[in-house]
Amino acid sequence: MNFIPYGKQFIQQDDIDAVVETLQSDFLTTGPKVKEFEDTLSSYCGAKYVVAVSNGTAALHLASLVLLNKGDKVLTTVNSFLATSNSILYVDAKPLFIDIAQDGNIDLDLCEEELKKDRSIKAIYAVAFSGNMIDQERLKYLKETYGVVILEDCAHAIGAEYNGIKAGSCTNSDCSIFSFHPVKHLTTAEGGAITTNSKEIYERLLMLRAHGMLKTPEMKPWEYEMRELGFNYRITDVQCALGISQLKKLPKFIDRRVQIAKNYDEAFKDTVVRPLYTYDGRSSYHLYVVKVDFSKLNISKADLFNKMRENSIGLQLHYIPINKQPYYRSLGYGEEHTPVMDNYYEECFSLPIYSLLSDAEQTYVIKKLFEILNG
């Protein structure tokens, strides 16, 4: 059996052809493919404006530069990849870590309690964890009632939908971001994007992506102006050619992930393995997370990880609470009251899910999992 990781890319001949064609064209970076990728993404997720950048972290950084000011307080989840809250620190703003709800997403009721207590809180950075959309009615309500800025980290959620609202559409948020790292649904090797419906935000993002430079038709042919301190967060035409090709197949990728999730749901019914949530049409399943109460079994989580690995299966854990990382502790975080996350962290792990995972491989994963859990 070949090694089965928790996630991986699916590259086919048409993807390779698209990349080769671009390598042979006049443009390697910032040519027609970047705009084409942005336009395709815009029509796919329904946001007016898209800015493609070098990776998802750069997308978060640029969004934070536009949405936040130094010292702003931002409610964010303990259950995400480091980049979500790191981007708040990049702009000298202050993350306030909030516990999760039972589905692994930030607890929006707790967010409201904080907003009631402190009207100076500027923003909420919410993550559609594992591909499960953030409750859109609640987001809308919080935005309208408290006037908070909202960023949706949709790195897990491209293709997800909630009552007709698509991930990245920014229907109830100011900005959303995507990542196109190879473990995500579609890849550009490295890559990311910011979506927004605000022209003003869009224009600042474009400037910040390229050194804070502005060039307008009124200027002399050689002129450009640097208006603020920006970065080089450009994505290349080669990467975008891959992205355009992958995006065409995204609906198929998601159908396959959903099928895998349904198979797992079925296999774990009435067993010690409890899915974080079962299929309800809202998730695009970047991850398939389960919980097991190890205190009731004769095996520890570390032993389970090791024994699965001996059987060529890679489990993962999403995520270690961000606020408990040494760097965050050095800033004074780590002792927030997060009982749901604490329990979740004890019990959770992620099983392999990706388009290329075959039925036979999935059956093997399930069989080995039960064999090892039952010792």
Residues in the interface with ligand PLP (CB under 6 A) total 14
Residue 352 engages ligand PLP in binding (rule: CB under 6 A): no
- Considering only the stretches 17-25, 148-156, 168-176, 249-257, report the one whose residues sit in contact with ligand PLP under the rule CB under 6 A: 148-156
Q: How far is the CB of 370 from ligand PLP (least distance, A)?
A: 29
The closest of 109, 52, 8 to 354, measured between CA atoms, is 8
Query: Chain centroid to CA 320: how far?
Result: 16
Residue 83 engages ligand PLP in binding (rule: CB under 6 A): yes
Q: Which is nearer to ligand PLP, 53 or 366 (CB)?
A: 53
When binding is defined by CB under 6 A, the residue of 155, 158, 193, 373 that contacts ligand PLP is: 155
Q: Is residue 200 classed exposed, middle or buried when 0-12, 13-18 and 19+ CB atoms within 10 A define those classes?
A: exposed
Residue 240 engages ligand PLP in binding (rule: CB under 6 A): no
Q: Which is nearer to ligand PLP, 57 or 236 (CB)?
A: 57
Residues in contact with ligand PLP, shown as a per-residue x/- string from 191 to 230 under the rule CB under 6 A: -x--------------------------------------
Q: Which is nearer to ligand PLP, 205 or 369 (CB)?
A: 205
Block residue for tokens 């959903």: 258
Residue 80 engages ligand PLP in binding (rule: CB under 6 A): yes
Q: How far is the CB of 289 from ligand PLP (least distance, A)?
A: 13
Q: How far is the CB of 295 from ligand PLP (least distance, A)?
A: 29
Residue 276 engages ligand PLP in binding (rule: CB under 6 A): no
Residues in contact with ligand PLP, shown as a per-residue x/- string from 50 to 79 under the rule CB under 6 A: -----xxx----------------------
Query: Chain centroid to CA 15: how far?
Result: 23
Q: How far is the CB of 156 from ligand PLP (least distance, A)?
A: 6
- Considering only the stretches 20-28, 153-161, 266-274, 330-338, report the one whose residues sit in contact with ligand PLP under the rule CB under 6 A: 153-161
**Interface residues toward ligand PLP, by CB under 6 A:** 55-57, 80-81, 83-84, 127, 153, 155-156, 179, 181, 192
